[in-house]
A and B are shown apart, each in its own frame.
Chain A
Amino acid sequence: MNSRKIAVKASQYTMLIVALMLFAGPLVWMLSTMLKTKAETYKVPPTVLPDTFSLEAFERLFAVQPMMWQWIQNSFIISFFVAAGAVVSSSLVAYGFSRFATKYRNILFPVVLVTLMIPPSIMMIPSYVLFSKLNWIDTWLPLIVPAWLGGAYYIFLFRQFFMTIPQELDEATYLDGGNRWTVYARVIMPLSKPIIMTTIIFAFVNSWLDFLGPFLYIKNPEMFTLSVGLQLLIGQTSQDLPALAAGAFISIVPIGLLYLFAQRYIVEGVVLTGTKG
Chain B
Amino acid sequence: MNRLRKYDTLLFFLFILPWIIGFITFFLFPFGTSVFYAFTDARLPGATNFNFVGIDNFTHMMDDPIFLKSLMNTMFFVVFGVPIVTAGMLGLAMLLNFNVKGIALFRTFFYLPTLVPIVATVIIWRLVFNSEFGILNAGLGALGIGKVDWIGGEHTIKPIIIMLQVWISGSGVLIFLAALKNVPRHLYEAAAIDGASGIRRFFQITLPMISPSILFVIIIQTMYNFQMFTEALLLSKGGPNYSAYTFVYNIYKSAFTDLKFSMAMTQSIFLFAVISLVTLILMKVSNRFVYYEGER
Contacts and interface: CB of A to CB of B under 8 A. Distances in A.
Contact of B100 (A13, A127, A211, A249): A13
Interface of A: 9, 12-13, 15-16, 19-20, 23-27, 29-30, 33, 41-46, 48, 89, 92-93, 95-97, 100, 102, 104-105, 108, 111-112, 115, 117-130, 132-133, 146, 148-151, 155, 180, 184, 205, 208-209, 211-212, 226-228, 230-231, 234, 241, 244-245, 247-249, 251-252, 255-256, 259-260, 263, 266-267, 270-271, 274-276
Interface string B206-230: 0000000000110010010011011
Given A16-B100, A129-B30, A274 B216 contact: yes
A6 B246 CA distance: 49
B87 interface: no
Contacts of A102: 8-9, 12
Interface in B11-38: 11-16, 18-19, 21-23, 25-27, 29-31, 33-34
Interface in B94-147: 95-96, 98, 100, 103, 106, 108-120, 122-128, 130, 132-135, 138, 141-142
A43 B130 CA distance: 13
Given A130-B30, A132-B45, A271-B174, A122 B268 contact: yes
Contacts of A133: 46
Given A9-B100, A119-B223, A245-B123, A20 B106 contact: yes
A124 B170 CA distance: 25
A274 B171 contact: yes
Contact of A92 (B18, B217, B248): B18
A67 B251 CA distance: 31
Contact of A231 (B124, B170, B234): B234
B124 A248 contact: yes
Given A46-B134, A211-B230, A93 B19 contact: yes
Contacts of A115: 23, 27
B271 A122 contact: yes
A12 B23 CA distance: 49
Given A230-B119, A245-B123, A276-B171, 17 more contacts: A12-B98, A16-B95, A19-B95, A23-B109, A24-B109, A30-B124, A48-B135, A89-B18, A92-B18, A96-B13, A123-B31, A127-B26, A149-B25, A211-B230, A234-B119, A256-B115, A274-B217
Interface of B: 8-9, 11-16, 18-19, 21-23, 25-27, 29-31, 33-34, 45-46, 92, 95-96, 98, 100, 103, 106, 108-120, 122-128, 130, 132-135, 138, 141-142, 167, 170-171, 174-175, 178, 216-217, 220, 223, 226-227, 229-230, 234, 248, 251-252, 255, 261, 264-265, 268-269, 271-272, 275, 279
A45 B118 contact: no
A186 to B, nearest CB: 15
Contacts of A89: 18-19, 22
Contacts of B108: 259-260, 263
Contacts of A122: 34, 268-269, 271-272
Give the top 6 A-B pairs by smallest Cβ distance, nearest first: A149-B22, A96-B15, A126-B30, A150-B19, A248-B120, A100-B12
A245 B116 CA distance: 13
19 contacts: A9-B100, A29-B135, A30-B127, A42-B133, A46-B134, A119-B223, A122-B272, A124-B252, A125-B45, A125-B251, A129-B45, A150-B22, A180-B11, A180-B15, A184-B15, A247-B120, A251-B117, A252-B116, A275-B220
Nearest to A149: B22
B119 A227 contact: yes
